[in-house]
Structure 1
């Protein structure tokens, strides 16, 4: 791929060719290009471009404003644009609250970001962030080409480009995993549907193939994602129109009640972690898993391959073998499951920023494949090594330490591996789990098959902005109560809780979603 050489390289070429009338023509052209580039560089005092950065509180992390990656950014972008890129740390666990405070005080960084689309919607609605169409047209050609129309569409609100979404290269989300060594010991096949899974769970409970104290057939926690129930609900859902599927809360989807009733049955038959509702952080679930007590669970598609899980599990139970499976088959013969949308973090420029043009230039510079590669992998032999033609990060401390996976907090135009080819991206993802590469590739393939993605509403849902947190909290409480209640109480409790949910704002959000969805469909005609 064609890349623009850094101005420093051109300048060095020019110096090498100076001082003689017999300078070769090619060197003269290099000198002219260098002079032109130097003339185009802004002069005067440097501009400070402020950029948000997550402070993840990782032990031993480097100075977030002075490390290998920030020096590269300032040496290769800052100097060429007479700018100093200054990073503004924001605690990851408080990112929305902190951003709201900074926005209210007109002190938000020139480049701010959030994963929460509702927050972007709210700021777009109150005119708190800049419209970016003209800025992208003027200074973001490479950025626009890199992201593409589909990714950029997730940053469009009411027809205007209000945010720049990062490109998400890894679309797999939630997977399900089972102890194959336990199945083999019991002579059972990999379960391909709910009935076969139920039989396996009962066998795990009754025969305890691992010989552990307190066997847990299905590991569950109250975190909402890891150690959740995967795509079980989707396997029960009945047919709906596109509009109904997009606008109806899961509680009202046909078959959802049966899905929760199935979980209730498993809990009352002691097939699920007994104290899952108390495990808000999943620490207990992690301990049960790595101590060899869990036979089946659902979590991020690569969860059992991560070193903090795979290494202690291997040390405690060398024979343990978790494999990814598709087991929740629906009536259409598909394993319907959610995947990530193509967009990642949302980058916004606050209305208070005085450096919007420079901010777009910075993101445009970052979309260069050479720049992205360095920010993700650094220098060969120092920050990464090449194995079978693929870069592998060398985990380090100090200045070279990456405080997030592949420096995603610094690479704001992409979430995930970016090697310019999706098959290479997948193989590089798999290579990050040494010894489990084949399992990782299998899991990624399973969890990007029969998938759907969340619908993107291009207009802020005022009811959701106002009531979304309350409804989210209710969701978790309702699920826990329904799983642990007595079977005889289930039907009446489900109906009661759903009625309360709809009255608390669920209906208002649904009705507004219907209105927005229909307007969007009408605009397509």
Structure 2
């Protein structure tokens, strides 16, 4: 997932006039380009037009390797019959570059960006200004695989003013972060992994008082990164796993939920007792990981994708160390939940400046042909992966060498099967798979709470205000935990939140939510 760029909206406004003026000048071309190899896998739509296929230009999200020399690019050229020149957005400030390219009328045939709120806002802005091609008629004519593979709800959520201007690539819905604990510390203090908030407090007290790490009074029971005062798993035990949560049938920002005060009171109490890292506000992600892997901390907030690197560092420093994720905690009223992803991982659209919009759709449609999609995503059986009892297991090192970045070539997924294919990625390292599997398969399904706004359409007020409101709440929560702000001031801050865009966002979000539930 790409991180939100807080400057996106400002840059979008600056580019608006240029985008609007250039749309009228853009035109379609009948240039047919040069002939390429016949496709290895075909569908009626992919081969609908006879004759040579044009070379396409595609702008992609950043990756560390050149798209044009990556093995997936060569495979897709053979499978679809389309040669593609790939460019990519920069790693730093990609939205700034994207605005410039759209405003200048660069003739890309496909542009893929992240699917975050900020990039959805840019997409909507481009569509409303007439800079993008309406894909509905093209998909109806040339995209049977697109219509069959992508969930109708995802296509509907990608529409702007009732028209579809982008192909969504759906995010796989899974929980990412939770609390990772030193099992050997638990054994030393004679306790089991906590399953409730009361048990969590008891375990952290034992870590502080019984010195299982051998650090004396320098043991850190729990460490987290400073940018995350809302601690996954703990927040869920108070019923606020996501920024917006359903409260009595209304989507309510976490800050306005009555449970918010209970959450910050609990975490503030951990801090006062010395159970939460006293330096947490200053911790970078790497700082928190170093404290855990060096043996100073007994528990850390961690993403399952980081487990191999963190445990390798931990065992290097302390060969006898053992660690694992704790179960999903329950609060006093039985609430529980880990935030789970939902919505779009990325979106792909065709600018009006494209010279080959029909062929761009045919190319994306051909990529969703069943065998082509599987080979693009995870390679060839017995070369890149093995299949046993429905489980795809990668063959290393060729899987990593030739398919590790295959997800960046996706322009829509077959939502019925992709998660099964994707699991080959977490089987690259069984520690990775075990961590993912524990959180997303072994824990009860009701412990994963999907972001309720994941498939919301573009919401102007929400999109305009989200980054600012999120930062406001994060900063304020940190101050409450530290004791720099009194709990008695929460109501006054809630009013500030409402007048800073919270009320407008609440109305817009719930106007949509009322229709989405029907």
| C-alpha distance 241-248 of structure 1, shift in aligned 2 (>3 A) | closer
Distance 1:127 1:138 in 2: 22
Q: Mean alpha-carbon deviation: is it higher for 102-111 or for 379-388?
A: 379-388
1:187 matched to 2:190? The reply is yes
Distance 1:518 1:245 in 2: 9
Give, in angstroms, the shift of residue 72 of structure 1: 1.9
**Do the aligned partners of 1:171 and 1:342 also contact (CA within 8 Å) in 2?**
no
1:144 matched to 2:147? The reply is yes
Instruction: Name the SS of the counterpart of 1:190 in structure 2.
Output: coil
**Do the aligned partners of 1:228 and 1:297 also contact (CA within 8 Å) in 2?**
no
Give, in angstroms, the shift of residue 198 of structure 1: 0.4
Give, in angstroms, the shift of residue 480 of structure 1: 1.9
Cα displacement string for residues 308-354 of structure 1 (whole angstroms, at most 9, x for unaligned residues):
22222222222222222234314553422321226432222223323
Instruction: Name the SS of the counterpart of 1:47 in structure 2.
Output: coil
| C-alpha distance 10-377 of structure 1, shift in aligned 2 (>3 A) | closer
| C-alpha distance 89-439 of structure 1, shift in aligned 2 (>3 A) | closer
Counterpart pick for 1:52 among 50, 59, 63:
59
Counterpart pick for 1:288 among 288, 291, 298:
291
| Count of aligned pairs between the two proteins | 470
**Gaps in structure 2 of 5+ consecutive residues:** 1-36
Distance 2:358 2:297 in 1: 53
Distance 2:445 2:175 in 1: 5
Aligned to 2:361: 360
Distance 1:342 1:513 in 2: 15
Counterpart pick for 1:515 among 491, 511, 514:
511
| C-alpha distance 511-419 of structure 1, shift in aligned 2 (>3 A) | closer
Aligned to 1:276: 280
1:207 matched to 2:210? The reply is yes
Instruction: Name the SS of the counterpart of 1:118 in structure 2.
Output: helix
**Gaps in structure 1 of 5+ consecutive residues:** 1-5, 12-32
Counterpart pick for 2:233 among 209, 228, 231:
231
Instruction: Name the SS of the counterpart of 2:56 in structure 1.
Output: strand
Aligned to 2:3: none
1:126 matched to 2:129? The reply is yes
1:78-477 equivalences in 2 (<5 Å) = 80=81, 83-107=82-106, 109-113=108-112, 114-116=114-116, 117-212=120-215, 214-224=218-228, 229-237=231-239, 242=246, 246-280=250-284, 282-300=285-303, 302-305=304-307, 307-330=308-331, 333-341=334-342, 343-379=344-380, 383=384, 390-392=392-394, 394-395=396-397, 400=401, 405-414=404-413, 420=417, 424-425=420-421, 428-435=424-431, 437-445=433-441, 446=443, 448-456=445-453, 458-477=456-475
| C-alpha distance 9-501 of structure 1, shift in aligned 2 (>3 A) | closer
Aligned to 1:503: 499
Q: CA RMSD in A?
A: 3.5
Give, in angstroms, the shift of residue 10 of structure 1: 9.9
Instruction: Name the SS of the counterpart of 2:186 in structure 1.
Output: helix
Q: How high is the TM-score relative to the length of structure 1? A: 0.78
| C-alpha distance 223-355 of structure 1, shift in aligned 2 (>3 A) | farther
Larger-gyration structure (1/2): 1
**Do the aligned partners of 1:427 and 1:441 also contact (CA within 8 Å) in 2?**
no
